[in-house]
């Protein structure tokens, strides 16, 4: 006879599954109806997402993705060199250092793509992949300094604070995630007696010999894989751009903002930040832009909120990573938990280091500007003196000529 408790659990799971199906169907119908009710707004939002993808994402990520496609031998090299650092600190193999560096340089979702590739090549286990992907996805420095600090806030000094909090939060997440799967058996650590450098080049040579594809096929496969991933990323950017616009038109964003308002009141933040936060939870770029235009908040409060949104990455970037991880056994739940954790770490770091990092930079810039202004004034005074002497000399010559 079946156990009554087991039967009840199955009934509950079946009921939840039915409710999920109903919720999904209603959401799709609501989205379709909204597209028909607001066709122009939906088109404009779609074009905005397409513009972001075509003008920023595609040209910035394509070279990195092409490089990642040829990076297997380099990953073997980095494995031997970074093993003494990555293994004790983050409990991942040395190849994690390469993934970390590439994720930092190219931004979302390069870390997820390269982690999935290492897992498929059986270089790392599933638990190690979940640890690795948790802290190797981040915004690149060009985005932090160029788009956010200079583009939105018109303040390069703010980029130093955001970068310190963002990448510092990454490190803290990596250290915390080392306890994920504590009893898991790790990949075998090589302990050869020869030097790390010799081992690194030995592994690099072996990796190159294993790949027998001609260079033309390698290049074609790299382009095909990179463009396919970028098309998927573009689709998610457009989808969440339209979704964010529809939620705003249906005033759902405003209703969700009421919940955020309560949290802002607890931390004594301006309630005007609630709508930008909701927008940033869906798409971090749009949310950061809205935060930068909020007039009721101080720059420190804006920086704290933007740090959280950039670390959380938004549902759009998370969906991109989830679609890449879906082809593997790497679970999305630890990745999502890490994004929330990094958001808290980044916001906390911004709160504590803002006055320490931002004020000295601004003071230095003011001193440089003052020094530059004094030099300009001195030069202007010098040139005026030279012109005066020249005029006096010319007048003397003219008067002398007249007397003669």
Closest CA to 244 of 189, 284, 191: 284
- C-alpha span between 261 and 297 (Å, rounded): 14
* Sequence-separated (6 or more) residues with CB below 8 Å from residue 10: none
- C-alpha span between 45 and 165 (Å, rounded): 31
Tokens 């039915």 map to which residue?
18
Q: Domain for residue 154, yes or no?
A: yes
Closest CA to 291 of 186, 157, 148: 148
| pLDDT value of position 340 | 96
| pLDDT value of position 257 | 86
Total count of domains within the chain:
1
* Sequence-separated (6 or more) residues with CB below 8 Å from residue 165: 307, 311, 345, 346, 347, 349, 350, 353
* Whether the Cβ atoms of residue 34 and residue 245 lie closer than 8 Å to each other: no
Count other Cβ atoms within 10 Å, centred on residue 389.
10
| pLDDT value of position 234 | 86
Lookup: tokens for 173: 């997440």
Q: How many CA atoms lie within 13 A of 283 on its CB side?
A: 23
Note if the pTM is more than 0.85.
no
3-state helix/strand/coil string of the chain: CCCHHHHHHHHHHHHHHHHHHHHHHHHHHHHHHHHHHCHHHHHHHHHHHHHHHHHHHHHHHHHHHHHHHCCHHHHHHHHHHHHHHHHHHHCCCCHHHHHHHHHHHHCCCHHHHHHHHHHHCCCCCHHHHHHHHHHCCCCCHHHHHHHHHHHHCCCHHHHHHHHHHHHHHHHHHHHHHCCCCCCCCCCCCCCCCCCHHHHHHHHHHHHHHHCCCCHHHHHHHHHHHHHHHHHHHHHHHHHHHHHHHHHHHCCHHHHHHHHHHHHHHHCCCCHHHHHHHHHHHHCHHHHHHHHHCCCCCCHHHHHHHHHHHHHHCHHHHHHHHHHHHCCCCCCHHHHHHHHHHHHHHHHHHHHHHHHHHHHHHHHHHHHHHHHHHHHHHHHHHHHHHHHHHHHHHHHHHHHHHHHC
| pLDDT value of position 19 | 74
* Sequence-separated (6 or more) residues with CB below 8 Å from residue 297: 269, 270, 272, 273, 291, 305
* Whether the Cβ atoms of residue 53 and residue 234 lie closer than 8 Å to each other: yes
Q: Domain for residue 256, yes or no?
A: no
Q: Domain for residue 222, yes or no?
A: yes
Q: Domain for residue 138, yes or no?
A: yes
Convert 357-379 to b/e letters by CB count within 10 Å (16 or more is b): bbeebeeeeeeeeeeeeeeeeee
Q: Domain for residue 21, yes or no?
A: no
| pLDDT value of position 168 | 96
Q: Domain for residue 118, yes or no?
A: yes
| pLDDT value of position 192 | 42
* Whether the Cβ atoms of residue 291 and residue 324 lie closer than 8 Å to each other: no
Q: Domain for residue 231, yes or no?
A: yes
Query: What is the span of the domain harbouring residue 116?
Result: 38-180+194-239+330-363
pLDDT in 10s for each residue of the chain, 404 residues:
555 555 665 665 556 667 777 777 887 888 888 888 888 999 998 998 888 788 877 887 788 778 766 665 555 566 566 777 888 889 888 888 888 888 887 788 888 988 998 899 888 999 999 999 999 999 888 789 888 898 889 999 999 999 999 999 999 999 999 998 877 666 555 544 445 555 555 555 555 556 666 777 778 888 888 888 889 888 888 888 898 888 888 888 888 888 899 989 998 999 999 989 998 999 898 889 889 999 889 999 999 999 999 999 999 899 989 999 998 999 999 999 999 999 999 999 999 999 998 875 555 555 455 555 555 665 566 566 656 655 655 565 555 555 55
- C-alpha span between 367 and 361 (Å, rounded): 10
Q: Domain for residue 255, yes or no?
A: no
């Amino acid at each position: 006879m079946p156990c009554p408790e087991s039967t009840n659990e199955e009934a509950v799971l079946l009921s939840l599954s039915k409710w999920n199906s109903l919720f999904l169907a209603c959401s799709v119908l609501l989205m379709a109806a909204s597209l028909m009710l607001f066709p122009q707004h939906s088109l404009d939002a779609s074009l905005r997402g397409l513009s972001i993808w075509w003008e920023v994402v595609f040209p910035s990520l394509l070279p990195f993705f092409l490089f990642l496609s040829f990076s297997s031998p380099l990953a073997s090299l980095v494995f031997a060199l970074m093993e003494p650092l990555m293994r004790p600190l983050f409990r991942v193999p040395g190849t994690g250092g390469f993934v970390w560096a590439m994720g930092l340089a190219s931004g979302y979702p390069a870390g997820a793509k390269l982690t999935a590739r290492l897992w498929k090549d059986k270089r790392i286990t599933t638990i190690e992949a979940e640890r690795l992907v948790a802290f190797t996805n981040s915004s690149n420095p060009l985005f932090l300094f160029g788009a956010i600090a200079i583009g939105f806030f018109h303040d390069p000094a703010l980029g130093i604070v955001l970068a310190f909090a963002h990448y510092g939060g990454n490190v803290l997440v990596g250290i915390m995630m080392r306890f994920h799967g504590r009893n898991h058996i790790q990949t075998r650590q090589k302990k050869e007696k020869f030097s790390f450098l010799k081992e690194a080049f030995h592994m690099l040579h072996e990796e190159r010999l294993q790949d027998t594809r001609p260079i033309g096929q390698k290049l074609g496969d790299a382009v095909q894989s990179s463009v396919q991933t970028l098309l998927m990323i573009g689709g998610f950017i457009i989808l969440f751009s339209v979704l964010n616009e529809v939620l705003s038109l249906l005033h759902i964003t405003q209703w969700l903002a009421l919940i955020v308002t309560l949290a802002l009141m607890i931390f004594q933040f301006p309630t005007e930040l609630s709508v930008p936060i909701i927008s940033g939870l869906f798409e971090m770029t749009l949310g950061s832009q809205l935060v930068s235009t909020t007039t009721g908040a101080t720059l420190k409060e804006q920086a704290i909120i933007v740090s959280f949104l950039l670390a959380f990455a938004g549902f759009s970037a998370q969906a991109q990573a989830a679609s890449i991880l879906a082809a593997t056994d790497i679970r999305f739940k630890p990745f999502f938990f890490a994004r929330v954790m990094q958001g808290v770490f980044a916001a906390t770091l911004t709160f504590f280091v803002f006055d320490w990092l931002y004020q000295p930079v601004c003071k230095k810039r003011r001193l440089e500007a003052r020094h530059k202004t004094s030099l300009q004034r001195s030069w202007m005074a010098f040139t005026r003196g030279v012109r005066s002497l020249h005029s006096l000399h010319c007048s003397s010559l003219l008067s002398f000529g007249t007397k003669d």
